[in-house]
Structure 1
Amino acid sequence: MPLIRLQGITKTYGEGTTAFQALKGVDLDIHAGDFVAIMGPSGSGKSTAMNTLGCLDRPTTGAYLFQGVRVESLTRDQRARLRRRYFGFVFQGFNLLARTSAQENVELPLIYRGEPAAARHAAAAKALEAVGLKGWEHHMPSELSGGQQQRVAIARAMVTEPAVLLADEPTGNLDTQRSREIMDLLWRLNVDHGITVLMVTHEADMASYARRIVRFVDGVIADDTPNPHPAGLDKPAAAPTPPSEAA
C-alpha cells in the first residue's frame, strides 16, 4: 500500500451559484521515499491538493488514506496530531520568528510536542548541522541571508523527523544559486534520510530534481510523469558554509 492515497478527491468552496470546485476527482498514490513535484498554472488546484495532503484542509468528497488511515474522517484535533507526528512544512516566505534565534526557531515544533529543554536543544543543533548551519545557532533571522533563512525553515521542518516534507514554492524568494542549494538540500534529505518530499513549484528547473512530476490543470491531474534522471542524482552533498563566509 502506498504511504498516501487520494481517491476521487473533490474540494468545493462556497455554495450555490458562487460555488467553485477547486478539485474535481483527484486520484494520486505517493509511496514512501518519493520526491514529487506538483506543478500547474494559478487556479489549477495544486495548492488545494497540497493543503489536503498536509491535513490543513478536508476534502468535500473522496477518500484520503495515510498509512491506510482514513484522514478525512478524523477530527480536527486528530488531524493536528497527525501533522505534528508525520509532517514537516516549508513555505516560500520562511515564516521565521524575527526576534528568535535560529536554534529557537527550530525548536518550536518540539515545544508544541512538550519535549524537555535538553532534548530540544540537542535535536535543533543536529538539524541545523544537517542543513549546513553548524555555528549559526544563535544568529537572528535578520543576520542570515535568504538561503540561510530557508535552511533554518527546513531544519525546523525536519527536527521532528517527519515521514513527509511538504514544500510550497521553497525557492520562490531566492536567487538562482540559492535556489539550487536549497534543492540540493531537499534532494539529500530525500536520499540520505528517506524523507518523502512533496513540493509545489512553478519552476521547471526546480521540478527537475523530483522523481515524479504531477501537473494539475483545472482541478484534475493532467499528467503524472516519472523523471528517470533527477537533477540531484549525481551531485555530492554540499559542504556547510562556515560562519566567516556569511552572505
Structure 2
Amino acid sequence: MADNAFISLRGITKVYGEGATAFQALKGVDLDVAQGDFVAVMGPSGSGKSTAMNILGCLDVPTSGAFMFKGVHVETLDRDQRALLRRKYLGFVFQGFNLLARTTALENVELPLLYRGDAKDARREAAMSALEKVGLDKWWDHTPAELSGGQQQRVAIARAIVTNPDVLLADEPTGNLDSERSVEIMELLRGLNRDAGITVLMVTHEPDMAEFARTIVHFKDGLVDRIEQGAGKRAMH
C-alpha cells in the first residue's frame, strides 16, 4: 500500500448474491488516488466502475480487501461511522441533479448543513459562498424549474461543496447536458480541483469529458485494466 496515498484500494472484491446466483462485480481491485488529483473512471457497462465508486463513496462495503482513506481502514467501520465519514469528507454530484423542486437554489445548497445541525445564519452564509463559487449567487432565489440544466447541475455542485469536502464524487455529471453545458461543468470541476484542492473522482462514459481529468482509470471485467494520464494535467499549467 502506497505510504503517501490519500486513498488506497487493495485486493477489493465485491460479490452480490450467494451460491449459484452469486455475481462477482469486483475481482481484486488495486488503486491509489493522490490527494488533489482529478480522476476519471471509465469502462463498459458491467466493468465494475460504479461498484468501485460506491465503495469509494462509502455507500457500499467490499466483500474483501482493504480500503484506506486518510489512514483509516474504512472496511472496518460500521454503518454509522461510514455515514459520519461521508458527511465530513465527501461530496456527491449525480447525473440527475437530485434537487428539491419547490425550494430555491439557496435552500437546496443549505440542505447538507441543515442535516448537520448548523445555525441558520451560518448555513445561509456558507450556501451563498458555494453558489458564488459556481457562478450562481445572483440566482439564489430561483427554483430548479426556473434554471437551465447546466444551472441545476451547478446548484448540485454547490450543494456538494458547501461542507468543504476533501473529495467530490461525480457520477456522470454531464450525462443530462448538451456539449456546451458539459464543457462548462467540466471547467467548473477542474477549477474546484485546482483552486480549492478538492480531489475529484468522476465516472464518465464520454472520452472527451474524461480528458479534463489528470488521471484516467479504465475498468474492465471487475478489475483496473489500465491507468493513463489525461489532458487535464497539461491544460492546467
Q: If the length of structure 2 is used for normalisation, what is the TM-score?
A: 0.97
Query: Of residues 10, 33, 37 in structure 1, which corresponds to 2:40?
Result: 37
| 1:5 corresponds to 2:8 | yes
CA shift digits 1:108-148 (9 cap, x unpaired)? 00011110000000000000010000210010000000000
| 1:49 corresponds to 2:75 | no
Q: Which amino acid aligns with 2:88?
A: R
| 1:183 corresponds to 2:203 | no
Q: Which amino acid aligns with 2:26?
A: L
Number of the residue aligned with 1:237: none
Please give the alpha-carbon distance, in whole angstroms, between the structure 1 residues aligned to 2:235 and 2:150.
18
SS state at 2:101 partner: coil
1:30-179 paired onto structure 2 within 5 Å: 30-179=33-182
SS state at 1:21 partner: strand
Pair 1:113–1:82, CA change in 2 (3 A): same
Contact 2:12-2:30 at 8 Å conserved across structures:
yes
1:158-237 paired onto structure 2 within 5 Å: 158-227=161-230, 229-230=232-233, 232-233=235-236
Please give the alpha-carbon distance, in whole angstroms, between the structure 1 residues aligned to 2:8 and 2:231.
22
Pair 1:113–1:27, CA change in 2 (3 A): same
Contact 1:184-1:232 at 8 Å conserved across structures:
no
Query: Of residues 18, 22, 38 in structure 1, which corresponds to 2:21?
Result: 18
State the percentage of identical aligned residues.
Answer: 69
Q: Which amino acid aligns with 1:101?
A: T
- Cα distance, 1:225 vs structure 2: 1.1
Please give the alpha-carbon distance, in whole angstroms, between the structure 2 residues aligned to 1:209 and 1:228.
6
SS state at 1:135 partner: helix
- Cα distance, 1:184 vs structure 2: 0.2
Aligned length: 234
Pair 1:119–1:232, CA change in 2 (3 A): farther
Across the aligned residues of Structure 1 and Structure 2, the Cα RMSD in angstroms comes to 1.0
Number of the residue aligned with 1:238: none
Please give the alpha-carbon distance, in whole angstroms, between the structure 1 residues aligned to 2:142 and 2:230.
38
Please give the alpha-carbon distance, in whole angstroms, between the structure 1 residues aligned to 2:86 and 2:50.
17
Please give the alpha-carbon distance, in whole angstroms, between the structure 2 residues aligned to 1:45 and 1:72.
18
Please give the alpha-carbon distance, in whole angstroms, between the structure 2 residues aligned to 1:46 and 1:227.
18
SS state at 2:208 partner: helix
Please give the alpha-carbon distance, in whole angstroms, between the structure 2 residues aligned to 1:15 and 1:123.
46
- Cα distance, 1:227 vs structure 2: 2.6
Please give the alpha-carbon distance, in whole angstroms, between the structure 2 residues aligned to 1:185 and 1:135.
17
User: Which sections of structure 1, spanning at least 5 residues, go unmatched?
Assistant: 235-247
User: Which sections of structure 2, spanning at least 5 residues, go unmatched?
Assistant: none
Contact 2:94-2:172 at 8 Å conserved across structures:
yes
Please give the alpha-carbon distance, in whole angstroms, between the structure 2 residues aligned to 1:71 and 1:218.
24
Pair 1:228–1:180, CA change in 2 (3 A): closer
SS state at 1:57 partner: coil
